[in-house]
Structure 1
Amino acid sequence: MLPKELLTDFLSVALYLLVGVVFAVVPIILSMLIVKRSTGKMREATYESGMETIGTAWMQFTVAYYIYALIFLAFDVDVLYLFPVALAYGKYAIRDLVEIFIFVGILSLAIVYAWCKGVFEWKPREE
């Protein structure tokens, strides 16, 4: 038999899990029940800003766009990390500042690496 405290902990985790699943599943079921589904040729047409599309929607992009987006995402997350770190300076402010400089230095190495690999050089696509 499990101790009462452990059983209470398991029940609270199970309750949180159940509430999370309910909050995820109920809106999906409600939208299936409430929304009227449409069918037809216009339903499957590509819609872009109210203008008729020219050509196919399936086109290839160069990998540079993907790498550029990943670099942007990485730096965006890192800036979000730096704000709370900067606000949490304690009595070891110099040490914290050095740690931030080391962190930003490592990020700068990633930019230099991407620059050396030519990620930031945009070449027109050859068709």
Structure 2
Amino acid sequence: MGSEAIIVFFLAAVVLVVGANFLSNLISHKSDNPQKREPYECGVPTIGPTWIQFNVGYYLFAILFLIFDVEVAFLIPWAVVFKEVGTVALVEIIVFIFILGLGLLYAYKKRALRWE
């Protein structure tokens, strides 16, 4: 695949993204109501400032959860076909779990798993 094909794919991606955004802005219903910009707290009026910065630890914890959730999504199909794929797949899944374990060890060392 030459550089021309890469340029064509890149331009197609840009055109599709820009076109989808333009089309959605063109046909979407617009309502400029100030109530839409207020944070929603289950119908209860908020007290104090609502636009605050959250601790980055919450985001790190959520990302770690997603990583290990994706791990389960890969392990279940692998476990179903384990007898058919053989030893090579066993080695691959051990490497996969080892890499995820290194990520977990890194998060533990950085204290991303502490809930303070």
Name the TM tier (shorter chain): 0.5 to 0.7
TM-score for the superposition, normalised by structure 1: 0.57
CA distance in 2, matches of 1:102, 1:72: 20
1:110 aligns with 2:103: yes
**What is the match of residue 58 of structure 2?**
65
1:83 aligned onto 2:79: no
Deviation of 1:41 (Å): 4.7
Larger Rg: 1
Q: 2: distance between equivalents of 1:112 and 1:70?
A: 15
SS at match of 1:120: coil
| Candidates 37, 40, 43, aligned match of 1:47 | 40
Give 5+ residue unaligned stretches, structure 1. 1-16, 18-27
Change in 2 beyond 3 A, CA 1:50/1:83: same
- One-letter amino acid matched to 1:100: I
Q: Scaled by the length of structure 2, what TM-score is found?
A: 0.61
Counterpart of 2:91 in structure 1 is 98
Shift of 1:84: 2.4
2:63 counterpart letter in structure 1: L
CA distance in 2, matches of 1:40, 1:98: 57
Q: Aligned letter for 1:98?
A: V
Give unpaired runs (5+ residues) of structure 2: 1-11, 13-20
Count residues with an aligned counterpart.
Answer: 109
Report the Cα distance in structure 2 between the residues aligned to 1:36 and 1:106, rounded to whole angstroms. 46
- The whole-number CA distance in structure 2 between the counterparts of 1:106 and 1:43 is 44
Q: What residue identity is the alignment partner of 2:95?
A: I
Cα distance 1:80–1:43, how it changes in 2: closer, same or farther (>3 A)? Answer: closer
